[in-house]
């Protein structure tokens, strides 16, 4: 056994199997049922009926058809109960003689895929044993070497496909979690900078009060001393917290971006694209965390438009603030390649907006182009 495997599993093969047995189910959780499942069920049922009518080499075509139709509904629950559905389908079909088996029974490969795509560790272990037993049954029934090799190759292909898509989905889920954690870190950093500035002002005012408190009662000096001590302690604790969040970076105080800073995004880029910015309703009263989040959303949207869209000529950034909150819209006129999943940048923007109680949506524009619209409320951030 390789040294690396021995380090991970000191108990050898026993530890390896124990770890596989305890492995959790695939993430994210599978959908319970989709319309394609009903389509698959209907297709296989029709093929089975046609096959049982026109095949002349089946000694008991009616029995084979009844057994197949009885186990066919297992495809509807294959994601939520993968191992159970595989057992329910394979046992009755395995009792039939090879010459009585319909070709349509190959739908079982869909159940095999589901076990290795969605099942927990114990499902994978038991399912592997069941598949090995089915190959052994083929040999016992007198199947030739070509049948054994063909069956093994088919099962191996389906199993590897299930494992590959399982790993791909798990990798994407882990990437999404890292993006969410990064957005939380960025938001915590912005909140720290905002509150730290206020606390610094408190500390400065307390020090000034102490400087002139000699003419005031002693109680005033004591109160100012408490204010200074508490402000300094709070600032120190917040710096320590953010230092951990930033993974070792020093927590320097820096002013947060404001709504007016979004105008810095305007201009002509090297590729010829023009970025136009319009900010309305900015009276300086938008809470700093909200203003910083709007700036980050606008900045990320412009960056995504210039980086991912094709043939971009213009990007329009429109920010409107009112008593309820702030609405930001970023529209570009470029061609965007169709994608079944949102990009990680969009997911990060949605996470940031959600953390502040707002919303962020992105999608194509009728007639061409792409738009990102985010709405952030003032509620909970009023000074």
Whether residue 234 has pLDDT greater than 90? no
User: What's the mean pLDDT in 253-261?
Assistant: 69
**Count of CB atoms situated within 10 Å of the CB of 289:** 20
User: What's the mean pLDDT in 156-167?
Assistant: 88
Over the chain, what is the mean pLDDT? 76
* Digit-coded pLDDT (tens) for 30-48: 777 888 889 999 999 999 9
Q: What DSSP state is assigned to residue 50? A: H
List the single range of 7-21, 112-126, 214-228 with lowest mean pLDDT: 7-21
List the single range of 97-106, 176-185, 302-311 with lowest mean pLDDT: 176-185
Provide the pLDDT for residue 383: 41
Alpha-carbon distance of 12 to 14, in angstroms, equals 5
Provide the pLDDT for residue 47: 92
Alpha-carbon distance of 51 to 64, in angstroms, equals 10
* Digit-coded pLDDT (tens) for 347-363: 778 877 887 788 888 88
Provide the pLDDT for residue 46: 93
Alpha-carbon distance of 320 to 298, in angstroms, equals 12
As given in the structure block, the two tokens for residue 365 are 């524009």
Contact call for residues 366 and 321 (beta carbons, < 8 A):
no
Alpha-carbon distance of 336 to 351, in angstroms, equals 22
Instruction: Kindly report the backbone phi and psi dihedral angles of residue 186, in degrees, each rounded to the nearest multiple of 5, phi listed first.
Output: -65, -40
Residue 6 — very low, low, confident or very high, per pLDDT cuts 50/70/90? very low
Whether residue 237 has pLDDT greater than 70? no
Return the domain boundaries, the chain: 3-143, 180-245, 259-377
Side-chain-facing half-sphere of 117: CA atoms under 13 Å:
21
Contact call for residues 376 and 305 (beta carbons, < 8 A):
no
In sequence order, the β-bridge partners of residue 362 are 372
User: What's the mean pLDDT in 136-158?
Assistant: 79
Tell me: cis bond preceding 28? Omega within 30 of 0 counts: yes
Side-chain-facing half-sphere of 375: CA atoms under 13 Å:
7
Provide the pLDDT for residue 45: 92
Of the candidates 169, 140, 138, the residue with the CA atom closest to the CA atom of residue 153? 138
**Count of CB atoms situated within 10 Å of the CB of 211:** 9
Of the candidates 328, 317, 310, the residue with the CA atom closest to the CA atom of residue 272? 310
Alpha-carbon distance of 216 to 316, in angstroms, equals 58
Provide the pLDDT for residue 128: 86
As given in the structure block, the two tokens for residue 135 are 């190959």
Contact call for residues 313 and 275 (beta carbons, < 8 A):
no
Alpha-carbon distance of 350 to 29, in angstroms, equals 21
Provide the pLDDT for residue 323: 84
The CATH number of domain 259-377 is 3.90.110.10? no
* Digit-coded pLDDT (tens) for 183-204: 666 666 666 666 666 666 666 6
Residue 104: CB partners within 8 Å, gap ≥ 6? 44, 47, 48, 51, 68
Distances (CA, A) of 381 to 163, 194, 200, 244, 285: 47, 11, 19, 24, 11
* Predicted TM-score of the model (pTM): 0.55
Provide the pLDDT for residue 382: 40
* Digit-coded pLDDT (tens) for 274-326: 899 998 887 777 877 788 888 888 888 888 887 777 778 888 999 998 888 89
Of the candidates 239, 118, 200, 140, the residue with the CA atom closest to the CA atom of residue 132? 140
User: What's the mean pLDDT in 240-258?
Assistant: 53
């Amino acid at each position: 056994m390789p040294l690396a495997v021995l380090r991970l599993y000191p108990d050898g093969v026993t530890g390896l199997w124990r770890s596989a047995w305890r492995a959790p189910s695939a993430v994210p959780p599978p959908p319970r049922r989709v319309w394609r499942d009903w389509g698959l069920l209907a297709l296989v049922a029709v093929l089975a009926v046609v096959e049982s009518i026109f095949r002349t080499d089946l000694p008991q075509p009616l029995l084979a058809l009844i057994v197949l139709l009885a186990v066919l509904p297992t495809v509807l629950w294959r994601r939520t109960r993968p191992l159970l559905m595989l057992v329910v389908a394979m046992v009755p079909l395995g009792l039939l003689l090879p010459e009585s088996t319909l070709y349509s029974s190959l739908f079982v490969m869909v159940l095999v895929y589901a076990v290795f795509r969605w099942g927990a560790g114990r499902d994978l272990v038991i399912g592997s044993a069941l598949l090995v037993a089915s190959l052994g049954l083929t040999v016992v029934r007198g199947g030739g070497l070509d049948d054994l090799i063909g069956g093994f190759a088919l099962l191996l292909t389906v199993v590897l496909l299930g494992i590959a898509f399982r790993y791909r989905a798990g990798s994407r889920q882990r990437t999404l979690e890292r993006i969410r954690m990064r957005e939380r870190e960025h938001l915590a950093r912005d909140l720290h900078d905002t509150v730290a500035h206020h606390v610094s002002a408190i500390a400065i005012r307390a020090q000034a009060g102490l400087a002139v408190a000699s003419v005031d009662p002693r109680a005033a000096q004591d109160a100012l001393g408490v204010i200074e001590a508490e402000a300094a302690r709070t600032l120190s604790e917040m710096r320590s917290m953010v230092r951990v969040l930033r993974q070792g970076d020093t927590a320097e105080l820096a002013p947060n971006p404001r709504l007016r800073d979004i105008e810095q995004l305007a201009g002509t880029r090297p590729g010829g694209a023009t970025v136009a910015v319009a900010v309305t309703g900015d009276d300086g009263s938008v809470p700093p965390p909200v203003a910083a989040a709007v700036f980050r959303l606008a900045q990320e949207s412009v960056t995504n438009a210039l980086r991912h869209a094709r043939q971009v000529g213009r990007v329009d950034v429109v920010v409107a603030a009112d008593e309820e909150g702030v609405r930001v819209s970023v529209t570009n006129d470029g061609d965007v390649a169709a994608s079944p999943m949102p990009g990680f940048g969009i997911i990060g923007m949605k996470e940031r907006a959600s953390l502040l109680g707002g919303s962020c949506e992105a999608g194509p524009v009728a007639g061409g182009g792409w738009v990102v619209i985010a709405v952030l409320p003032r509620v909970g951030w009023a000074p």
